[in-house]
Copies of this chain bind each other. A is one copy, B any other.
Amino acid sequence: MPGYENVISNCGIARGFRPSAQYASCMTSAPTSPLTDPWPKSPVLQAAYRSRAAAADLAPLPRAVKDDALLAMADALEVRTKEIVEANAADEERAREAGTSDAIVDRLTLTPERVRAIASDVRDVIALPDPVGEVVRGSTLPNGIDLRQVRVPLGVVGIIYEARPNVTVDAAALCLKSGNAVLLRGSSSASHSNAALVKVLRDAVGGAGLPADAVQLVPGESRESVRELMRARGLVDVLIPRGGASLIRTVVEESTVPVIETGTGNCHVYVDADADLDMAVEILVNSKAQRPSVCNAAETLLVHQDIAPRFLPRALEALAEAGVTVHADERVMALAEGSKATVVPAVIEDWETEYLSYDIAAGVVDSLEAAVSHIRLWSSGHTEAIVTSSQQAARRFTQLVDSTTVAVNASTRFTDGGQFGFGAEIGISTQKLHARGPMALPELTSTKYIVTGDGHTR
């Protein structure tokens, strides 16, 4: 059993402190605890250890250094567009051969214009303030100690995501800006694109003098490699799944690493007895049909019984014009008779379905409280909107509804980091712990307390 001297000499401490080299050499023999953690054989865990070392280097960096690296990333994406688009073409061809739908192939495809747009998004991140170092609270305690709570990076952020290759760059840029190392696990359908993008990003980060391991792909494409990532508690500080409901459920259930649940949106629009009819129709159609494939699109319409006879005929017509099929309860069905609407009878599953398509469930409720109960029962807790001219109703609805976002006389589509003015978004958390709603740079940080005294004891 080696003693203390061996440990520190293994850590390269005698050679002076260069964070990256020192920590990396330390890890070769003793990753975090020589007692419990021999250098792992698994490539996934090796990558995670390299991420931890990179994270230790990134944490104390000032904004200017990180912004320089982000600028290098943006420039490199533009200069090396050709190799990115070529790699993407291989993914696209494979997808077409596999009979993938045009919509999905389109999401996967990178053109020179799209690469330029991605680079431009990185430049936007440069312009955002650095959350690290922000003093969240501070005071002088009665005994004279100065207490400060300051933002620090989370450390290693794992992102598990589906087809869109732009997420690769977005996530890397936001994590680097907030001082975190990122471990990226994209879908195999985008593997060539992701490999090319990460190569470009790593070269840029390394060229700017920061550890290239700040940005890594999780090695391997097997399910087992994802499972290892999900079990790397202590190495990976948080996992953020971005994608469909089944991906998110798997990560939430199987991970021992803390997870931030994102994105499932069974959003409701409730039209109150006192709603302005024009406004209600506009908000409904916008919430449902402006972009039906996203998580903040509305999936259920609830209408107060007192306004239903006046509102529903107009609403159903407007929805029909927007190409929306209405899954209607009996009372909506009755009011739809003779209208031009496309209406089918609702079954119970409709109340919990996130269609992500030109479909909406619709029901009539007896009261605002009935709407709230319905939402409590069925909502995924993402975004619910009320349209009302009653101050009391607006106040009651916002108090009683327990979702990330409650909108009063506004479309559900505003729940978005960009719309909220956060300048960026790494996902929309639908859980209550750590972050709730659109997550931007501050949500990629933790805090630490700094206690400063003059020899204070208890």
Contacts and interface: CB of A to CB of B under 8 A. Distances in A.
Contact of A415 (B377, B409, B449): B449
A449 B3 contact: no
A370 B420 contact: no
Nearest to A287: B457
A356 B365 CA distance: 60
A2 to B, nearest CB: 6
Contact of A256 (B252, B403, B420): B252
A28 interface: no
B59 A409 contact: no
Contact of A408 (B32, B373, B451): B451
A8 B374 contact: yes
A204 to B, nearest CB: 25
Interface stretch (A76-84, A115-123, A137-145): A137-145
A30 B351 CA distance: 13
Interface in A218-260: 233, 237-238, 252-253, 256, 258, 260
Nearest to A150: B398
B432 A155 contact: yes
A456 interface: yes
Given A139-B421, A458-B419, A7 B377 contact: yes
Nearest to A457: B286
A406 B450 contact: yes
B431 A436 contact: no
Nearest to A456: B410
Given A13-B365, A154-B433, A419-B141, A279 B348 contact: no
A366 B398 CA distance: 59
A402 B330 contact: no
A279 to B, nearest CB: 4
Interface string A14-42: 10110100110010001011110000000
A407 interface: yes
Interface residues of A, number: 111
B258 A367 contact: no
Contacts of A363: 4
Contact of A14 (B13, B279, B366): B366
Contact of A17 (B152, B373, B421, B449): B373
Contact of A414 (B19, B22, B145, B433): B145
A369 B414 CA distance: 48
Contacts of A372: 17
Contacts of A253: 233, 256
Nearest to A437: B449
Contacts of A317: none
A441 to B, nearest CB: 13
A369 B16 contact: yes
Nearest to A6: B348
Contacts of A398: 450
A329 interface: yes
A290 B145 CA distance: 18
A98 interface: no
Contact of A5 (B17, B330, B451, B455): B330
A271 B2 CA distance: 24
A36 to B, nearest CB: 8
A352 interface: yes
Nearest to A420: B147
A216 interface: no
A411 interface: yes
29 contacts: A3-B348, A11-B374, A13-B366, A13-B367, A23-B373, A26-B377, A32-B377, A33-B377, A34-B348, A141-B420, A141-B421, A142-B421, A149-B437, A154-B433, A233-B252, A237-B433, A286-B457, A403-B448, A404-B449, A405-B448, A406-B448, A406-B449, A406-B451, A410-B455, A411-B457, A411-B458, A413-B457, A436-B448, A437-B448
Given A5-B331, A8-B365, A32-B376, 20 more contacts: A3-B347, A7-B377, A8-B374, A11-B374, A13-B367, A17-B367, A17-B370, A35-B348, A59-B402, A154-B432, A404-B449, A406-B448, A406-B451, A407-B453, A408-B453, A410-B453, A411-B456, A414-B458, A419-B458, A437-B447
9 closest A-B pairs (Cβ-Cβ)?
A17-B369, A410-B453, A286-B457, A432-B446, A279-B455, A13-B370, A4-B329, A434-B434, A410-B456
